[in-house]
Amino acid sequence: MYLKGSKLRMKKQRRMRRSNPAFVILFLAIITAVIYFDQYVVEELPVVQVPTPTSTLIPESLEKEADELLAAGSMYRAIDVYNQAIRVDPYDPNMHVKLAHAQILAGEYESALTSAQNALLLNPENPKALAELGWALSFLGIS
């Protein structure tokens, strides 16, 4: 068997493919859209661990301050501080219970009833919240 001809070579020649102009334009459009989206649409994310311009309050420090005010006998000021602590952390049922207790001592029985009910919404089996609710109901004359 004899091999003849110019087409019988051991190495294949690769044919150069021309790029399609539509694909090039589409690719450039996608790149431009990504750059535009990155620069103008997406807002810059805040950097973690950068101090905030206003100081943030710690609920435990507010609770301690309100407890001291309540022990000193200034119940209305303690009620204000408990309300601040609840605004900072509204999901702490103990804050609502302490607020209800201060409101009962100040004679604000309707507000104490609401605060005790809020504490029970957060934790239905809280015995202190049930006790404050009972106090508020008894002072209001509701059985």
Domains of the chain plus CATH, in order, are 59-140 (1.25.40.10)
Contacts of 67 (CB under 8 A, 6+ apart): 78, 98
pTM: 0.61
Cα(39)–Cα(25) distance, integer angstroms: 21
| Residue-level pLDDT, tens digit, the chain, 143 residues | 555 556 555 566 666 677 788 999 999 999 999 988 888 877 666 667 777 677 777 888 899 999 999 999 999 999 999 999 999 989 999 999 999 999 999 999 999 999 999 999 999 999 999 999 999 999 999 86
* Residue 138, amino acid: S
